Structure 1
Amino acid sequence: MPQMQESMRQADIPLKPTLPQHVSTAAASAIASTDPLNSLTEDQISQLVDYYIDYIHDKPHSLFHTPTLRRDVAQGSIDKTLLCAILGLVARFSPENDIRALGPRLASQAQHVLQSNLGAMSLESTQSWILLGNIVSADCDYACESLFFGIATRTAHIIGLAKPIPNETAISAETRLRTWLSLYMIDRWSSAGLGTPRQMSDRPASQGLPRMEFLFHGMQPEQEPWPVEPSGAGLWAHMITLVEIFGPIQDLNRLLATGTVDEAFIVSAVSSLSGRLDDWERQLPIDVRLNASNLELHQSRGQARTFVALHLGYYHYGSLLYFQYLDASASALPYAAIYAERCREHASAFSDLLRTSYDKGCEAMYNIVAHMAVVSSSVLIHTLLLGDEAQIDPAKARLESNFKILMRLRQWWPSVDSTTQKLFSFQKACLRSADNHTHKIDRWMVKFLLEHGNAIGDKTVETEFDTPSPYGGAGDSPQAQQIMARDRLTRQALSELRASSVYAAQTFSAM
């Protein structure tokens, strides 16, 4: 999408919410006797549920039929542990200090009840574990995130979440399918985040996919059957077919880092995955393709943030697939220049769409957006260092836009601090010697690109510079002088971002 020119839209949101922290079982037990739900009015609970539906639901996961969720909350019939998990996740978005401060107690209450009743397995407990996984990951407790998601996945297998139930209502069947497929997506992301094996096998082709969101969420509770026969897949269906390509892209990058993959394999694997990404985009229905009119269409349906999340994922996966071609060591591979340009295009398009989402009031606000923005920024840094002159100013503007949004995300998600620090570690590795292989896929780079749950530290000389410089060390050559000039430009741009980060941190901590 074209880059937006107007200034960043400032949402009416708090600058420094008090965010949930992971609490031990003993500590949770100590506070469990006082029900934190009693501290909230019905209107406050309803408002928090609206935040969840608007900002989170149908983006990193899709767990509910929203009219049924709202009805159950209003009637007081919702599972209380599930409600605590929902509110514990989204209390951070409240403009009221007291409600934001209640978030940790709500999350701890849910965690305490779930851990005390591990044998009580149900759809509601599965959904609650997923929500708790999101809460602890926001505080960088990625080990617990993986554990909670693992419990949710195993619970779903045990209760047969993916199996049809005779005479089940359309809403119930769709809700269970969406929860199961949310776990499928979570498994691809969470395993990448810690570099652990995936728990769920590939999705069988015979398995159904979610239907259109505006039809599903437009149905009233207990309505049966579907109001019209759905003729197409929903946005979440396209998310699932897209994330099926993410697993092989991860696997390819991990293989590249071993240094044992021959050229023929690389050429074949990239060609195959590139074709799959192209086919996925080409086969999108007309009303799901990324353009301004479709963004308005999905905004009118209340699904603009989901529409944005779908295409942000596409651009992120493409950046990961083509990232290896940014490095000079891949320049001899077939189509290297084309693939390198595709990487830059994906990263730039990601930045433009992310900016547009904030300008148009459909902000991408879920946690993992920060990691994707950092990967996009790393490609933009390459453009600053080595791109054409005409690409420099747009790359710098996009890098600044990414960073502004990272600072916005930091208001809600503490993990953005460590995510942003990874970008500065990447900066340090690149600027240590800009004429070397700054973007080579090695073990350190795989951690940077994929393992958002693992710290990366500084890049060592052994892993950073284990191939000769493509510039031959001629310090007074025109090419070397150009690199040095770009080096200074990049240092200046990223120093400004680092200064902004320090200023933002001081400002938020003082509030």
Structure 2
Amino acid sequence: MMALSARFSTSSHVSGTDPRERGRGYAKECERLLDWNDVSLTTIQACVLLGAIAITNGNPASESIHYAVACRIAQLLDLPNCPVTSRVDQEVNIRMWWSLNMIDVWSSSGVRLPRLLTPKEDVPPPMDEIAFLGLTRSQGFDVTIEKKQQSSLLAEMVRLNRILLQINDLNIRASERELDAETILSNVENLSKQLDMWLEELPDHIRDTRRNMERYAAQGLGRVFVAIYLGYYHYGQMLFYRFLHEDSQRLTTHARHYAEKCKQHAGSLCDIVYASDEVPGCDVKYNMVGHVLVIASTVQIHSLLFEADDSNVTKAKTRLEKNFCFLTRLRDLWPTLDFCMDRLMAFHEACRNSADTSFRMDRWMVRFLVEFASPVSDKTSNSNVDNPWSLAGLGITPPEMEAI
């Protein structure tokens, strides 16, 4: 935890140290203390943290190894059914199990390897966070959870993650096997309905409103609340992204519909990032935000290139400027943001060279969307840009740049 959090410290003792370097010593000590032979929950938790540290430094192989060990130990222990002495320990195991299931989906897709865990239908969803935080080990199993507390933030993340699994699989299959248009459209329609159903079935207290964000922030859960919608909006832009190319070519009527949905998801993703920065206790400064914001930024580039409505072009330009400022701030904290910035500039350069083909959902694009911690092979060279990490490099020169 210290290795991950040291970069945020305001202590004078570390003020002269690069925030991206502050955690290295702690990470090495954690690696030294890790006992791979200790088949326990503690080892699972340590592996998850070390995996998170590895990915922040742009090392997806090390991340994958640590997560694989965590998943395998969870299977050996049959973690959700492990004998325990209290409801607290049982819920910790359940939450850890579902967290590993979610990690397994995006981590395995990021390195293009088979998943390790299969969701178990007999494992209950995580309970409401406030109810969980109110539990004590002295209660044993003599705890009653009210029905209104059944829905939880983590449980909604689990439901969403199942849809992400299908979206990733579709994009990969379509790029590798060249699925016919009818099959792709059928899959997209099905997944679109699943996303819509998830949103419709949400209880009112978890919906994306400023009031709910502020309420969860007051409970210390604001960042978790924002994370749900970062996931929802990102999964939507991932699902509908392929239609940006069709829409720019004016090929089909359904392309316009799904391209608009992609733009809506990308725009809402940007907006909730901005809102999270305005509500205390909701700011999202972890490295994965950089990846989803880069994808959302490429959608704004599409609007700059092909949108006919001047107001939409202005909105896209404003979002692109804000996103760039936000990404620059994240880059000061996380080494892996170098890859994100490189990706954004490489994509922009591809658009400058061939706007008509740059949004095509080919293998390069799938890698761009999924393999967030690795550099993608350049479609073009951006060596002609004096400062590749500048708004001028993106063809934008705002009258003034204000950090979010």
Asked if TM exceeds 0.5, the reply is yes
**SS of the residue 2:81 aligns to:** coil
- Cα deviation 1:354-374 (Å, max 9, x = unaligned): 011012221112221110000
**2:84 maps to 1:184:** no
Task: Look up the match of 2:213.
Answer: 295
Report deviation, 1:96: 2.3
* CA shift digits 1:404-438 (9 cap, x unpaired): 1112212221111111110000001111122x122
Q: Distance in 1 between matches of 2:193 and 2:204?
A: 20
**Which shows bigger deviation, 192-201 or 235-244?**
192-201
What are the residue-to-residue correspondences of 1:181-330 with 2, within 5 Å? Answer: 181-201=98-118, 203-224=119-140, 225-226=142-143, 228-231=145-148, 232-258=150-176, 260-328=178-246
SS in 1 for 2:124: coil
2:303 corresponds to 1:383: yes
Cα deviation digits, residues 83-130 of structure 1 (max 9, x gap): xxx22221111112645666322211111121xx32111100100000
Q: CA deviation at 1:168?
A: 3.2
How far the C-alpha of 1:256 sits from its partner, in A, is: 2.2
Does the residue aligned with 1:335 lie in a helix, a strand or coil? helix
Which amino acid is 1:336 matched to?
Answer: A
- Equivalenced residue count is 383
Residue deviations 1:268-315 (CA, integer Å, cap 9, x gap): 101110010000010000110111111122122211111110011000
| Distance in 2 separating the partners of 1:396 and 1:354 | 16
Distance 1:195 1:454, change over 3 A: farther
Work out the CA distance in 1 between the residues paired with 2:276 and 2:138: 34
Asked if 1 retains the 8 angstrom alpha-carbon contact of 2:226 and 2:272, the reply is yes
Instruction: Tell me how far apart the structure 2 counterparts of residues 189 and 119 of structure 1 sit (CA, whole Å).
Output: 26
Helix, strand or coil at the partner of 1:118: coil
After superposition, what is the alpha-carbon deviation per residue over 1:12-68, rounded to whole angstroms, capped at 9, x for unaligned? xxxxxxxxxxxxxxxxxxxxxxxxxxxxxxxxxxxxxxxxxxxxxxxxxxxxxxxxx
Of the three residues 28, 43, 47, the one matched with 1:108 is 28
- Greater RCO (CA < 8 Å, at least 6 residues apart): 1
Deviation at 1:492, TM superposition (A): 5.4
Shift in alpha-carbon separation, 1:316–1:156, aligned structure 2, 3 A = same
Per mean C-alpha deviation after superposition, the further-off stretch among 367-376 and 215-224 is: 215-224
Question: What pairs with 1:45-64 in structure 2 (closer than 5 Å)?
Answer: none
Q: Distance in 2 between matches of 1:458 and 1:418?
A: 12
**Deviation of the 1:453 alpha carbon:** 2.4
* Structure 1 length-normalised TM: 0.71
1:223 & 1:105 partners in 2: Cα distance?
39
Q: Measure, in 2, the Cα distance between the counterparts of 1:186 and 1:257.
A: 23
Structure 2-normalised TM-score? Answer: 0.89
Q: Distance in 2 between matches of 1:407 and 1:492?
A: 14
- Partners of 2:319 and 2:22 in 1: CA distance: 36
Alignment identity in percent? 35
Q: Are 2:342 and 1:439 aligned?
A: no
Distance 1:120 1:456, change over 3 A: same
Structure 2 residues not aligned, in runs of 5+? 382-390
- 1:156 to 2:74 alignment: yes
> Letter of the aligned partner of 1:429 in structure 2?
A
Structure 1 counterpart of 2:294: 374
Partner Cα separation in structure 1 for residue 190 and residue 66 of structure 2: 34
CA contact under 8 A between 1:134 and 1:145: conserved in structure 2? yes
In structure 2, the partner of 1:494 is: 394
2:392 and 2:38 map into 1 onto residues whose CA distance is: 56
Rg larger in structure: 1
C-alpha RMSD of the superposition: 2.4
